[in-house]
Chain A
Amino acid sequence: MTLFLQQLVNGVALGSVYALVALGLTLVYGVLKVPNFAHGALYMLAAYVVYVMLEDVGAPYALAILASVLTIAVVGALMELVVFRHLHGKTPVHMMIAALGVLFFMEGTADVVWGPDFRPVPTPLDGVVTAFGINITEQRVLVILAAVASMVGLYLLLKRTLMGMSIEALAQDREGALLVGIDTRRVAVLTFAISGVLAAIAGSLIAPLVLVFPLMGAVVILKAFVIVILGGMGSVPGAIVGGYLLALAETMAGTYVAFAFSELIAFALLVMVLVFRPTGLFRKGV
């Protein structure tokens, strides 16, 4: 029972990161129909910004997160302005190839700047909380709390602000949004910037728990795609539920079957969803 609870906590912490990455991905897909593989590179870059701020600049962790969020929001917006804006109306294959190109470009850039080394990021919160025989590090508590706060923030942004409503409008009907006077170009840039913020929060939170290296985004982005397909392409609640579901499935399968098997779970789930429920668990609706 203790093991089960321990793994539940471990799974929720991992799921928080999965869900945050998947949210940015589903947002961009839902609104702009871009399967943005380069989202993984934003997550990787965010971790590097935190690394540079903590190691080279010597900034406190909170400032490092803020710097990461601002930087990656700008990089996300630039991605739209420089690449995807010009692909509007092209086939999904064009979009996908462009996104993969941006991913490889950014991985290559990180390799040139920081080298292929695994970089450890100093852990700002290195305490361990123990309750009912279960251990969880303070950093993981922060991951869970910050993820929930970000999800609530995203919900309020989409439902309660004019900006959010214009994003939703664009997701529902691009032409309609244009007709009622929404500046769709501005909204597209904003959507990319917000997805960058979500990737940055995920990358900044996980950086002290893992190793930072150029290919770290490639591993997570594949999982994020599984989550988005599992939850329903473009669905915000789907990305959240899917993120936690996948992390818990991996952790529990590892615990009660074999950990070597847990890496297969994501892709087994993907195939099952595509066969039995191609629309995903949640129908689209940002």
Chain B
Amino acid sequence: MLARKLVLVGGLSLLAAACGGGEGGGTDDGVEVVPIGYVGPLSGGAAYYGRNVLRGLEMAASEIAESGGFMINGRPHRFELVTADDRYLPYETATAARRILQQEQMSVILVPHAGGIRAVQEMNLNEPRFLLMAYSSEPSILEAENPLQIMLPPRFDGYQRPFVDVLMPRFGNRLGLLGTTTAYGRAWTEHVTAEWTSRGGTVGRDNGVDYNTTTDFTGAVSRALADDPDVLFIGGPSQPTALVIRAAREQGFQGGFLIMDQAKFMEMLQIVSMDALEGAVGVYPQEYYPTAGTPGWVARYYERFGEDAPPATSEVAINYQGLHLVAKAMEIAGTTTDPDAIRSSFGEAARTIDDDLRIFDMTGVTDGGHLARAVYAAHVLDGEFVAVPIPVLGPAPSQ
């Protein structure tokens, strides 16, 4: 609830100097401070998710500060994160965003859920204008055609066709439905159902349950398995998803799992073994993402947060990438305060960002503000992750 100000310390010297104040957001050792907003869950059921997102932003901001900042008109700048907790409630998001905008002038705010993004789309074009960094794979957020929006993750409606391509030939054409019942889970269920039936497969009754409030999944799993499916559609947060997999294997299910993009393999592997995941298809584990920048990024992640840190998932990676892109776009635009100029420079930033800061193979930004890049999913085959390329939907990048 409380808007919290999180000062990122890039070293004790910065902290000591930060008290000095100065023009704009304040300076220290001549490094100007640029506030960046985060409005998302920090408490309640989605706190874990929110803190993953924030960890990615913190990592990027700290790296920028430690490297001396990014240059605008010959002067170094660094980021300071200003966070506000909306408890994952869309009606809180706009209020919280307004509150931090009153505290401080800022040109960029990141929101990590579709409901909150829609709420903020109503306000970011009025004064004070700001660039909305949208972390949600829900393609409908593009329908608003908000000119001050950047959608960071791949859209989820690209996954179903390649997932079915892999699983239907391997296991058979009967699909059981056991996804989570959030709005996002239902949208996934509809897309999977449509794709599966369009290929001549049969789909069993929807046995979806709310993954966040269900104490025991055995009942729902028993019911889904009673239809004798070849493949089960499952998914919600990673850890409950792993419990569903465990329950299904305990009850003798031998088939494949079509896993919604919300669940991450590395987090599921903390609960179930690779054996249990045999025949699963889901988003590619970020730690092994098949791009040149990934290994270096993973090493830096564990160096910074320790070996016991939560897995370096795409939630961390995509937001990390996003904030480095903001710095690059500001550099190209030559401004930290003009959101329109920053937005116009984003495509160039995506193409020209330094190789060691480039986790994804990005090609630019579409007219609608979607960050275009190569996307991979993973198929667990004989105990190994095999890359499955995901075709890019929507228009080609124009900037």
Contacts and interface: CB of A to CB of B under 8 A. Distances in A.
A13 B216 contact: yes
Contact of B216 (A2, A128, A209): A209
B359 to A, nearest CB: 23
26 contacts: A3-B222, A3-B226, A7-B223, A10-B216, A11-B219, A13-B216, A14-B215, A116-B47, A118-B237, A118-B240, A120-B271, A135-B250, A210-B215, A211-B239, A211-B240, A213-B48, A215-B44, A219-B215, A254-B209, A255-B219, A259-B208, A259-B219, A260-B181, A260-B206, A263-B210, A263-B214
Contacts of B47: 111, 116
A94 B242 CA distance: 41
Between B218, B243, B251, the greatest number of chain A beta carbons within 10 A of the residue's beta carbon is seen for B218
A215 to B, nearest CB: 6
Contacts, number: 91
Contacts of A118: 48, 237, 239-240
A250 B222 CA distance: 14
Nearest to B239: A118
Nearest to A126: B250
B312 to A, nearest CB: 15
Contact of B222 (A10, A116, A140, A210): A10
Given A14-B218, A135-B251, A137-B250, 13 more contacts: A3-B223, A11-B219, A14-B215, A17-B216, A111-B47, A135-B250, A135-B252, A210-B215, A213-B48, A255-B219, A255-B222, A258-B205, A259-B220
Interface in A1-16: 2-3, 6-7, 10-11, 13-14
Contacts of B250: 128, 135, 137
B43 interface: yes
A116 B51 contact: yes
Interface residues of B, number: 34
A14 to B, nearest CB: 5
Contact of A259 (B43, B45, B48, B209): B209
Interface in A220-279: 220, 250-251, 254-255, 258-260, 262-263
A44 interface: no
Which 10 A-B pairs have CB atoms at the shortest separation, nearest pair first? A116-B47, A118-B239, A251-B219, A120-B271, A3-B226, A116-B48, A10-B219, A10-B218, A259-B220, A259-B209
A17 B73 CA distance: 65
Contact of B207 (A14, A128, A137, A259): A259
A262 B209 contact: yes
A258 B223 CA distance: 10
B172 interface: no
B126 interface: no
Interface in A145-196: none
A17 B215 contact: yes
A258 B250 CA distance: 22
A251 B270 CA distance: 28
A11 B216 CA distance: 10
A251 B243 CA distance: 17
Given A111-B43, A258-B206, A259-B207, A117 B215 contact: no
A54 interface: no
B103 interface: no
A225 to B, nearest CB: 15
Nearest to A139: B250
B270 A120 contact: yes
A221 B51 CA distance: 26
Between B222, B226, B250, the greatest number of chain A beta carbons within 10 A of the residue's beta carbon is seen for B222
Interface string B11-48: 00000000000000000000000000000000111011
Contacts of A254: 207, 209, 219-220, 223
A7 B219 contact: yes
B86 to A, nearest CB: 15
Given A135-B251, A258-B206, A259-B207, A120 B213 contact: no
Contact of B219 (A115, A117, A120, A250): A250
